[in-house]
Amino acid sequence: ANFSEQVVESFPSDISTGIYYGWACVGNGDVHKMVLSIGWNPFYKNIKKSVETHIIHTFKEDFYGEILSIVITGYIRPEKNFDSLEALISAIQEDIEEAKRQLDLPEHLKLKADNFFHLPEGKIVNNH
């Protein structure tokens, strides 16, 4: 789940590029573990900064146009380039496993139930 350019531009400018972990919720759905990449994705030679969320869950259908709420709880590693697509995929899998381990710790697990993830019915957020 990628955030729009407008949302990316609203992220704090001093946040370091790299791989983070935390919690994500689509609409008023369940809260799931996630890994977040903030940066330029050098393997793909992006010219614009991006924020890409990998929710560690299999959804039954697409959720384009839904509100994605995230809480970043920790940092895994800096952004880096890779020599091959296989090396990139391997690093992503390692990031996912590290996120799972960290998010099972009590200090991170307690944030899963935060009221932040529960949008009031009918509330308009960012014109949606």
CA dihedral 27, 104, 10, 88 (to 10 degrees): -100
Tell me the CA distances in angstroms from 65 to 27, 62, 71, one per residue in order.
10, 9, 19
Do the beta carbons of residue 75 and residue 33 sit within 8 Å? no
Catalytic (active site) residue 121: no
The answer for residues whose C-beta is within 8 angstroms of residue 53's C-beta and 6 or more apart is: 1, 2, 3, 24, 34, 35, 36, 68, 70
Q: Of residues 52, 66, 79, 98, which has the active-site annotation?
A: 52
Taking Cα atoms as reference points, which of 74, 82, 77 lies closest to residue 100? 74
Q: Give the residue numbers marked as catalytic.
A: 52
